[in-house]
């Protein structure tokens, strides 16, 4: 037990309706024999028998998908839908839930930490600049007086401005 029997996995078609059983049922409904289907698809009769027996139900590799696509097209079915029936269903447990990015409490906490860190940095900068004389209160601004060129020209000519 537990071995493949004539290339068909043990229990492959038991209990669940696989893609092989589905395609076999569709073939029978349309009145097409295996020999006619083999001629339409150019797939050997033995491979079609294995497909309908469920040999490919448990291993949906590239060859199995190609066989299913070709047989579905020959039977007048949608090939993409038939391949989707072959593929296993994804489990809900495998998809992790997305974290709540817009948690208001966490956002407010991050903003408070950022503002607090900014205020502490500003306070330290102001303290250090005052202590070492490079801040705004360390020295008075230097006043530069420049003569007005118009007044200087008027003084040279001897006229006083009005």
Per-residue pLDDT of the chain (162 residues; tens, 9 = 90+): 344 434 444 444 433 578 888 899 999 999 999 999 899 889 889 988 988 888 877 777 777 888 888 999 999 999 888 888 877 666 656 566 666 566 788 888 999 999 999 999 998 888 877 777 665 555 666 777 777 888 878 777 766 555
pTM of the model: 0.46
For residues 88 and 51, what is the distance between their CA atoms, to the nearest angstrom? 16
pLDDT of res. 3: 43
User: d(Cα 145, Cα 142) in Å, to the nearest integer?
Assistant: 10
- The two tokens of residue 53 are 């027996």
pLDDT (0 to 100) of residue 151? 80
Q: Say what the pLDDT of residue 115 is.
A: 94
The correct CATH number of 19-88 out of 2.60.40.420, 1.10.287.130, 2.10.25.10, 1.10.260.40 is 1.10.260.40
Spell out the residues 6+ positions from residue 70 whose beta carbon is closer than 8 angstroms to its own.
41, 43, 79
Amino acid 96: pLDDT: 63
The predicted pLDDT at position 113 comes to: 94
* Residue-level pLDDT at 112: 94
Scanning the structure block, which residue is given the tokens 């200087």?
152
- Please compute, for residue 114, the number of CA atoms within 13 A of its CA located in the half-sphere on the CB side: 6
Q: Which two tokens stand for residue 29?
A: 């409904």
Return the residue matching tokens 């593929």.
87
End-to-end CA distance of the chain: 121
Helix (H, G, I), strand (E, B) or coil at 144: coil
Long-range contacts from 92-101, C-beta under 8 angstroms, 24+ separation? none
User: Contact 57/20 with Cβ under 8 angstroms?
Assistant: yes
Give the three-state DSSP class for 93: helix
CA triplet 73, 78, 84: central angle to 5 degrees?
A: 110
Task: Give the pLDDT confidence score for residue 9 in this predicted structure.
Answer: 44
Q: What is the pLDDT of residue 119?
A: 93
pLDDT of residue 35: 92
As a whole number of angstroms, the distance between CA 36 and CA 38 comes to 5
What are the domain boundaries of the chain? 19-88, 104-157
What pLDDT, on the 0 to 100 scale, is given for residue 2? 40
At which residue do the structure tokens 């289907």 appear? 37
How far is CA 11 from each of CA 75, 78, 121, rounded to the nearest angstrom? 26, 27, 70
Per-residue confidence (pLDDT) for residue 11, from 0 to 100:
40
């Amino acid at each position: 037990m537990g071995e493949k029997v004539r290339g068909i996995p043990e229990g492959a078609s038991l209990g669940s309706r696989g893609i092989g059983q589905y395609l076999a049922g569709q073939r029978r409904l349309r009145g097409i024999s295996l020999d006619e289907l083999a001629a339409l698809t150019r797939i050997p009769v033995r491979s079609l028998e294995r497909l309908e027996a469920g040999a490919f139900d448990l291993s949906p590799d590239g060859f199995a998908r190609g066989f299913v696509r070709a047989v579905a097209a020959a039977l007048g079915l949608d090939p993409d839908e038939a391949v989707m029936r072959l593929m296993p269903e994804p489990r809900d447990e495998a998809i992790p839930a997305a974290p709540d990015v817009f948690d208001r409490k966490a956002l407010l906490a991050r903003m408070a930490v950022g503002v607090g860190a900014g205020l502490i940095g500003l306070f330290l900068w102001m303290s250090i600049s005052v202590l070492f004389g490079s801040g705004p209160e360390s020295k008075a601004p230097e006043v530069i007086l420049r003569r007005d060129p118009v007044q200087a020209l008027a003084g040279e000519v001897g006229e006083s401005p009005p």
